[in-house]
Amino acid sequence: SKIRTECAVARKYSVAAVCVAPYYVSVAREELLGSPVAVGTAIGFPHGCMSQAAKLAELRECMANGATEIDVALNVLAIKSGRLDVAQRELEEIVRMAAGKAKIKAVFEHSIYTPEEKRAVLTMIRSTGVEFVKIQNMLSGHGARVEDVKLAHEILGRNVGIKIDGGIKTLAQAEQLMAAGATR
């Protein structure tokens, strides 16, 4: 009932998307039929440390159930182990599989990376064809900051949108993040 109630609110205000757990994708799709609101979900959460095959299976199921926006948790263990190539190949395959069916948002858990890793991860993401980078705040204890958005925008350019994941409490804060380069 909570999913149905929140989908009604999303429909009323014509938000871009509602993000639900994969379990609720079909319910959200049903509630949002005929509206401009997309159904989003997340795969590989929270740390993206499962096999590529598992992520692809989750992606297939979510798209079959009606998800048209997918937040993909990058494989942080591969990245932190110096295997950025593994995370990149995985993300490229996800983008390929979703082409024409769903928008892919790569989750950038900014607080766990060193400054050098941040630049490397954002550069890698830019090369994969994702539509958005989602600046995540789950592990940081705080929302995205202006400096996080500026760095992402500097590296991603105009071809990759920047989505902020929660933590926005005021209109002024939202305006600051948008001015820094956030697009959603």
Cα angle value 64/24/61 (rounded, 5°): 25
Q: How far apart are CA 8 and CA 14, in angstroms?
A: 10
Q: Which residues are catalytic?
A: 71, 134, 163
Instruction: Measure Cα distances from 96 to 48, 52, 176 in Å.
Output: 18, 13, 34
Cα angle value 106/70/141 (rounded, 5°): 55
